Amino acid sequence: MFSVNIKRITKGGFVNFWRNGWVSFATVLVMVLTLFVIGGLILSNVVLTSVIASLEDKVDITVYFRTSAAEPDILAVKDSLTKLGEVESVEYVSRAEALERFKERHKENALITQSLDEVGDNPLGAALNIQAKDPSQYASITTFLEGNILSGILDKVNYRQNQLVIDRLSSVLRASRKVGISISIVLAVIAFLVAFNTIRMAIYTSREEIRVMKLVGASNWYTRGPFLVEGFLHGFLASVIATLTFWPLTFWLGGRIQNFFGGPNLLSYYQGNFFEFFLVLFLAGTMLGVVSSSIAIRRYMRV
């Protein structure tokens, strides 16, 4: 009997969905808008995150060693830095390499090349390029370096020169993350409320029907079932439509956004994560449809 009821309820939901043509259409349309907002938030978070990450990548500090510093000592400093939890990566630039890079950078400038030749010996010290996991951690890394037993071989740490810029940038990045998250939450809540109320209206138009079903002797689940199936269908259809609308959109916007902000191409992100993306919208849509329907129908069940 259970399977027969499931079959009848499912069929009832499908038939109602079809025969309620206009109401279904309007509900799906509003849910498409809701899911579109959610999908848009996901994509803008991808852009925002990658912009923030690329800015963070640009922030690093460099430790310059005295020319007299021995390579094993420098490598010991490098090791101790790598062991720090705050450090993302450390790059060792030897004296020879530093000279090489310097020459490369100034090969157009005859004066500098000439002066280098004049000096004969390599005047440059070795260096470590340090990248922290979070820009706010450069201060503690610098303190660690300056307090190190090998600090005698340090020439200078360029954090102190760039401290202001680094601090300001890191607070801007932190703030934009927070703002991004808050805006996303507010927009998502608004979108959900709009969809919820649309479904409530749709159920409101069926209130007499619900009453009649109860009076004819339908159990609560038998009455509720078709409406939940209908809600599921609204959500499913809306998630398919919303997911598909992002295809031309990312196709059109992907290159432009990439040129403007850098970061990944949205079209390739969309294609690469198509199923995850659809899954998120599908779950959001169907949950919204089913949960809103069951909340909205409750008040009409008390017969």
Is 63 a binding residue for another protein by CB under 8 A? The answer is no
Residue closer to another protein, measured from CB, 29 or 218 = 218
Sign for the CA dihedral angle at 151, 154, 160, 163 comes to negative
Q: Give Cα 270 distance to the centre of its chain.
A: 13
1 binds another protein per the rule CB under 8 A: yes
Q: For residue 206, count CB atoms less than 10 angstroms from its CB and return exposed for 0-12, middle for 13-18, buried for 19 or more.
A: buried
Output the six-digit token pair for 298.
Answer: 């409750």
Q: In whole angstroms, give the CA distance from residue 42 to residue 283.
A: 14
Nearer to another protein, 19 or 83 (CB): 19
298 binds another protein (CB under 8 A): no
Does 8 bind another protein (CB under 8 A)? Our answer is: yes
Rounded Cα gap, residues 249 and 245, in angstroms: 7
Q: Which is nearer to another protein, 147 or 217 (CB)?
A: 217
Using DSSP, state whether 88 is helix, strand or coil: strand
- Return the residue of 72, 85, 147, 217 that touches another protein, per CB under 8 A: 217
User: Rule CB under 8 A: is residue 20 a binding residue for another protein?
Assistant: yes
Total number of residues that touch another protein (CB under 8 A): 22
Tokens describing residue 184 = 């996303």
Q: Which of 111, 149, 164, 215 binds another protein (CB under 8 A)?
A: 215
Tokens of 120: 């004969």
Q: Which of 108, 111, 216, 259 binds another protein (CB under 8 A)?
A: 216
Task: Based on the shown chain and the rule CB under 8 A, indicate whether residue 212 belongs to the binding site for another protein.
Answer: yes
119 binds another protein (CB under 8 A): no
The answer to whether 109 touches 131, Cβ cutoff 8 Å, is: no
Q: Residue numbers of the site for another protein (CB under 8 A)?
A: 1, 4-5, 8, 15-16, 19-20, 208-209, 211-220, 222, 303
